[in-house]
């Protein structure tokens, strides 16, 4: 079973939606909505995976928008792993890659500000910038993410 099939099964089981159909309206697309559900549940890796399925099949300018969201989720994967295992040989070195992904995400998302597909892109870019700046200001020593203060994303 392919990754896409596994994700489609997971979405269908969790939401009861038909994820096999091509939803032209991005804001209603099951993969797009699942990205935000996963993000808000602090399941950043899954958020990345589910939106990747939409990104890989996008042939429009939205590809950079989806790529930016995927990169943002990836950055939070790094922060979450670092938070969970700060002394782990690999996870302890995740702050610099997180900053790189925050910056790449901003680059890809800024062209879509202030709003795109019901998302306040300008606010998200400010959030990503804040996290990156906090890490850099601490000389890559302090992780500003915690489960208690994890950011939520809402669609309008």
Instruction: Report the distance separating Cα 43 and Cα 33, nearest Å.
Output: 14
Domain boundaries along the sequence of the chain: 26-137
Which DSSP symbol is given to 42?
T
Nearest one of 15, 14, 26 to 57, comparing CA atoms: 26
Average pLDDT over residues 140-153: 98
Check whether 20 has a pLDDT greater than 90: no
Task: State residue 25's pLDDT score.
Answer: 87
For residues 128 and 102, is the Cβ–Cβ distance under 8 A? Answer: yes
Q: With the C-alpha atoms ordered 126, 130, 131, 136, is the resulting torsion angle positive or negative?
A: positive
> For the segment 28-66, what is each residue's pLDDT rounded down to a tens digit?
999 999 999 999 999 999 999 999 989 998 899 899 999
Q: What CATH code is assigned to 26-137?
A: 1.10.3450.10
Pick 124 or 23 by higher pLDDT. Answer: 124
> For the segment 78-128, what is each residue's pLDDT rounded down to a tens digit?
999 999 999 999 999 999 999 999 999 999 999 999 999 999 999 999 999
């Amino acid at each position: 079973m392919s990754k896409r099939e596994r994700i489609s099964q997971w979405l269908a089981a969790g939401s009861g939606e038909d994820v096999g159909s091509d939803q032209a309206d991005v804001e209603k697309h099951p993969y797009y909505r699942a990205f935000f559900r996963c993000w808000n549940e602090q399941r950043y890796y899954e958020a990345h995976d589910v939106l990747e399925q939409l990104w890989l099949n996008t042939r429009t300018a939205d590809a950079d928008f989806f790529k930016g969201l995927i990169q943002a989720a990836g950055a939070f994967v790094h922060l979450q792993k670092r938070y969970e295992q700060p002394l782990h040989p690999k996870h302890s070195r995740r702050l610099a890659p997180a900053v790189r992904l925050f910056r790449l995400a901003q680059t890809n998302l800024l062209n879509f500000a202030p709003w795109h597909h019901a998302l306040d892109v300008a606010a998200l870019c400010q959030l990503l910038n804040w996290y990156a700046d906090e890490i850099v200001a601490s000389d890559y020593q302090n992780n500003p993410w915690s489960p208690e203060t994890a950011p939520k994303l809402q669609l309008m």
